[in-house]
Amino acid sequence: MPSASNYSILITDDDRNLRETLAEIVEQRGFHPVLAADGEEALDVVQSKPVHLALLDMHMPKLTGLETLELVRQVNALLPAILITADATTDLMRQAFHAQVFSVVPKPVNPHMVISTVVRALIRAYGNPDEPPEKPFQGVIKQ
């Protein structure tokens, strides 16, 4: 497993309670959570801090999780992402696959599933779990 303290996990959800619950889940495993209440906040975070993985709620006001991911990937094209939703329809799964989302986690969230999925995504994205991750690519947003 990766050395958790080396990884920042962006958690974006408009539900404050779920956002804080997810933060506690990843923090208990030793990851560093970075919180955003919506897609615009998530974009600001990615532009200003190194982030190694994004946990994104699908249904948020202003920007959906997939819309947020599209903008975030203009800053960090290779950022692994996990979508969280209570509405995992076939169409949504197709859209998530097309957006190259690592996984879709159903609500209500299972803490073990969240951690397992986060760890697998980090290993796939950053390789050797015994080496700290390289600094994520930081670019500019294409307009």
Digit-coded pLDDT (tens) for 26-51: 999 999 999 999 999 999 999 999 99
Q: What pLDDT is stored for residue 32 in this prediction?
A: 95
Identify whether 88 is part of a domain.
yes
Q: pTM score, two decimals?
A: 0.87
User: What are the distances in angstroms from CA 138 to CA 49, 70, 73, 101, 133?
Assistant: 9, 15, 10, 19, 14
Q: What pLDDT is stored for residue 6 in this prediction?
A: 83
Q: Where residue 28 sits, what CATH number does that domain have? A: 3.40.50.2300
Identify whether 138 is part of a domain.
no
Q: What pLDDT is stored for residue 86 in this prediction?
A: 93
Q: How many whole angstroms from its chain centre is CA 14? A: 14
Q: What is the pLDDT of residues 72-131, one digit of tens each?
A: 999 999 999 999 999 989 999 999 999 999 999 999 999 999 999 999 999 999 886 555
- State which H helix or E strand residue 90 sits in: helix 90-98
User: What are the distances in angstroms from CA 51 to CA 102, 106, 108, 129?
Assistant: 16, 23, 25, 17
Identify whether 80 is part of a domain.
yes
Helix 16-28 vs helix 111-126: angle between axes, to the nearest 10 degrees? Answer: 60
Identify whether 16 is part of a domain.
yes
CA-to-CA distance for 6 and 14, rounded, in angstroms? 26
State yes or no: pLDDT of 64 exceeds 90. yes
Task: Give the total number of structural domains in the chain.
Answer: 1
Identify whether 137 is part of a domain.
no
Identify whether 133 is part of a domain.
no
Domain assignment of residue 72, given as a range: 4-126
